[in-house]
Structures are given as structure tokens and as C-alpha cells.
Amino acid sequence: MKAWEVTEPGSLEGSPVRFADREPPVPGPRDVLVQVKTCGVCRTDLHIVTGDLPAHRDNVVPGHEIVGTVVARGEASSRFDIGTRIGIAWLRATCGVCRFCSRGDENLCISPRFTGYDDDGGYSEFAVADEDYVYELPVEFDDLHAAPLLCAGIIGYRALRRAQLPAGGRLGIYGFGGSAHIAAQVALYEGATVHVMTRGSDARRLANRLGVASVQGPFDAPREPLDAAILFAPVGDLVPVVLEALDRGGRLSIAGIHLTDVPSLNYQRHLFQEREIVSVTANTRDEAREFLRVAAEVPVKVSAQPYPLEEAPRALGDLAGGRLSGAAVLHV
């Protein structure tokens, strides 16, 4: 089979990935073998490829927004029939016994495994995953538009919930890519007023098409104080900017797995009057299932730009350069 491998994490100009011939993976006892149809290109993939995140294994196949069909099962696997369409996401294994798993916070497991980071992912023709960590996908979404739901959607949803936006509240969204444009639609559906601060002209046009209240540059002040905000852009310099935009009691939810250094904060300007900062770490499987149900209910309109599997480096480059409107998706 054909697959992209991360060989030397670093600048995209240095060709950190290669297109290789590999043997198809063999499913373990509780695994399903999936023929990949599409795989979303996530900013986390970019951080893995460029070395922003420390490597967990050599020559890993990136990609964790995988849509495909079951073509084989391990001897103890029975949850999905052959031919079933399923989704494979970022969280692929947890210990089930640590203090976090025991209290229902498996996203904080002390020994998790992640798709496309600890184990091979979906920039490939085939992938495997434990049947307990994959998802049935809503029929409302085709393969192209289902892929971004599996991380961009799930993490955006968790970031929205972590922001604790009050009913009918004012939400600021900083950065407007694959994850943000999905979270914005959920917030709008639930009655929020949404203000978007982002740099890309395509992203601004997309935000306006979705019906947000205003669109400004990332360092501009929103038109009114915010009850909550989500920072999707991995730019630490924006943290004090967002905190100044919050009203009393406002909360900033930082959605990314990687963030550049945060400048020093002034207590009176940025944190006083009970402003808060929280981070987001993966998701639970229950939360992922809840989001997929909500996405179909809204229904979310996913903006997806397809690329052939062979052009994964171009998709990563477009993501890095802010040249996308919505999400990039590899079509296998």
C-alpha cells in the first residue's frame, strides 16, 4: 500500500515526509482493518510533521480524521460488519484504570495512545484501530465532509463546552479554520452571538457566509465585550489580546495541542474580575459521540477542500500558509 511517513520532522521546505510503499497493517484481536476513503489534514498533523511536537516514533504515518470501510476484523472483533463505514479519531487507546479514566476523564489518561502519533494514521490506503475507539458516522455527511468532524469538529466542540458560554452569550473565535468554522455553527445554532477574529481573507469570507455578527483581524478588538472566547490559532501572543476582550467573569478556552509562548500578563488588565484561562486536552469517546449527534442535528455545513493522497505535502503547506477556507481533506 501507499502511505506518507514522517522521516525527518522539520520545515516543510525540507521534505519531512516521504511517499512510501508499505505492507498493509494487520489487525490485532480487537482491531478493525479499514480501507481509507478520506483523511482530514489537521493542524496537529502539521505540528507532528514540522517537529513542533516531539516525535513519539520513527516513520509514523500521520492523520487522525479517518473515514473508511471495514474490510477485515481481528478474531475478537464483532462490533462492526464488513463493509461498515466508520471513523477513526485522535484518541485510540486509554488504560481504563488510572485515576482519570476511573472518574470518567479518559481524555486525561496518563498512558494514552494517539492515531498518527503513537500509531500509524490515515495518510495511507489502509489503517487499523481498536473497535472500541472508532465511531459510527452520521449518514448526513459524505466521506469528504465527515472527515473533519473527527478531530476539528470534536475538539472544537470540547473547546466550546470548556468555554462555558452562557445561554445567548457573546462568543469570540480567534482563528477560523477547520475546527473553528464547525464550532461557530454549533454556537450559532445554540443562540450565541459570534464574533470572529482571523487573518485569512478566505476564512473571513467563510465566517461572513455562516452569519457571524462581525469579522475582524486577529489583534482587533471585538465590537462588544465577550462572555467567552476560543483561541484556535496557535499564537501565544494572542492570549493577552483575548483576555482584554473578555467581560467580567469571561473564560478563554485554548483549543490547540501546541501554542507558542505566552507573553507576560498584567493581572489588572488581563485576569482580574474573575477572568479565566483553560486548555483543552483531547476528548472522551462519549463526548465525540455526542458531538456527532449534534453535528447531524444542526446540521453542520463542513467546508472541505479535497486533495489527492499524493498531494499531502501541498495540503499541509496550504494549512501552514493560511490558504484554506475550512478544512483540507485527503481523498484516497
pLDDT at 23: 96
Is there a single domain that holds both residue 123 and residue 202?
Answer: no
**Do 275 and 286 reside in the same domain of the chain?**
no
Range of the domain at 210: 153-279
Alpha-carbon span 76 to 143, nearest angstrom: 27
Instruction: Check whether residue 191 and residue 231 sit in a common domain.
Output: yes
181 & 52 share domain: no
Average pLDDT, the chain: 97
Q: Is the dihedral of CA 15, 329, 239, 218 positive or negative?
A: positive
The pLDDT of residue 326: 86
pLDDT in the model for residue 262: 97
- Say whether 107 sits in a helix, a strand or coil: helix
Q: pLDDT tens digits, residue range 164-220?
A: 999 999 999 999 999 999 999 999 999 999 999 999 899 999 999 999 999 999 999
126-143 mean pLDDT: 98
- Tell me the mean pLDDT in the region 36-47: 96
Could you give phi then psi for residue 12, rounded to 5 degrees?
-60, -30
Q: Please enumerate in sequence order all residues whose Cβ is within 8 A of that of 42, keeping only pairs 6 or more positions apart, or say none.
A: 63, 64, 65, 151, 152, 178
Among 263, 279, 295, the domain boundary falls at: 279
Asked whether residue 202 falls in the same domain as residue 289, the answer is: no
Residue 254 pLDDT class (50, 70, 90 cuts): very high
Kindly report the CATH number assigned to the domain that includes residue 249: 3.40.50.720
Split at pLDDT 50, 70, 90, the class of 284 is very high
42 and 97 together in one domain = yes
Check residue 322 and give its pLDDT.
87
In this structure, are 60 and 75 located in the same domain? yes
Do 63 and 47 reside in the same domain of the chain? yes
> Alpha helices of the chain — where are they, by DSSP H?
43-50, 99-102, 143-146, 152-163, 178-189, 201-210, 238-245, 285-297, 312-320
Total domains, the chain: 2
The pLDDT-based confidence of 256 (bands split at 50, 70, 90) is: confident
What is the reported pTM? 0.94
Q: Based on the domain organization, do 217 and 321 belong to the same domain?
A: no
Same domain, 130 and 178: no
What mean pLDDT do residues 321-325 have? 88
Q: What letter does residue 253 receive in the DSSP assignment?
A: E
Domain of residue 21, CATH code? 3.90.180.10
CB 84 within 8 A of CB 26: no
What would the mean pLDDT of 261-283 be, rounded to a whole number?
A: 96
* C-alpha dihedral (278, 280, 281, 286), degrees to nearest 10: 120
| 118 and 168 both lie in a single domain | no
pLDDT reported for residue 325: 83
One domain, residues 84 and 209: no
